[in-house]
């Protein structure tokens, strides 16, 4: 599946820069609103940001959006018993984890879509088998409604139950790059090596924006 799949992300601008200028990543979501000013319609625009949330991580500790303050992070949606794309996605996410391990400006956030089965203790076992230590890589659990709303309304990743699908769920394998202001700056097919290589490169670009 190609980057962004069936979803239409709004690509505002890509500034590759001329000589002496720093490359910058695009912003992928823009919200607009109409307001009346002096009898005229004025269109205001702003970048959509990831909203407040309250979930539990693999240590059964509450995690909110504030835990990601001051960091860029990569988000995805998965389930531990997934027989198809999740193992590939997380082998590739492990490359991200290993490259930026102990970097306080980088985090990862994997949200389970199987909220009945993937309780925090199960995700802890899953993380340990991958070799993940600490909470730089957060495995997040919450109510079905909250997780699915975050996936489809905010990260724009499809996720739904389907008893006829392998493992009982349909979801997309995107790795979504979020900046320190919680704006989406990229989306990458986590099953494709070239896409993951691009993600790693873009993360360096994004980190450089804050220097």
Distance CA(118)–CA(81), nearest Å, equals: 9
CB of 172 closer than 8 Å to CB of 2: no
CB of 2 closer than 8 Å to CB of 189: yes
**Chain segment 1-45, per-residue pLDDT in tens:** 444 443 334 444 433 344 446 789 999 876 655 566 666 665 556
Domains along the chain? 55-209 (3.40.30.10)
Query: What is residue 165's DSSP assignment?
Result: S
pTM: 0.84
Task: Return the structure tokens found at 98.
Answer: 């290993």
């Amino acid at each position: 599946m190609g980057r962004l799949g069936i979803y239409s992300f709004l690509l505002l601008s890509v500034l590759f820069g001329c000589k002496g200028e720093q490359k910058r990543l695009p912003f992928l979501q823009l919200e607009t609103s109409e307001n009346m000013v002096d009898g005229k319609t004025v269109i205001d625009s702003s970048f959509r940001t990831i909203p407040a949330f309250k979930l539990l991580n693999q240590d059964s500790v509450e995690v909110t959006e504030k835990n990601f303050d001051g960091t860029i992070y990569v988000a995805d949606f998965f389930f531990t018993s997934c027989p198809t794309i999740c193992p590939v996605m997380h082998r590739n996410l492990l490359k991200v984890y290993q490259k930026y391990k102990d970097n306080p400006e980088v985090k990862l956030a994997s949200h389970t879509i199987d909220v009945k089965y993937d309780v925090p203790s199960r995700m802890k076992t899953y993380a340990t088998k991958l070799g993940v230590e600490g909470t730089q890589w957060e495995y997040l659990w919450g109510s079905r409604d909250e997780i699915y709303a975050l996936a489809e309304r905010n990260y724009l990743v499809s996720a739904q139950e389907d008893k006829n699908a392998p493992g009982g769920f349909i979801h997309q394998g995107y790795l979504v790059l979020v900046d320190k202001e919680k704006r989406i700056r990229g989306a990458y097919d986590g099953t494709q090596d070239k896409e993951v290589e691009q993600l790693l490169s873009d993360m360096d670009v994004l980190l450089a924006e804050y220097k």
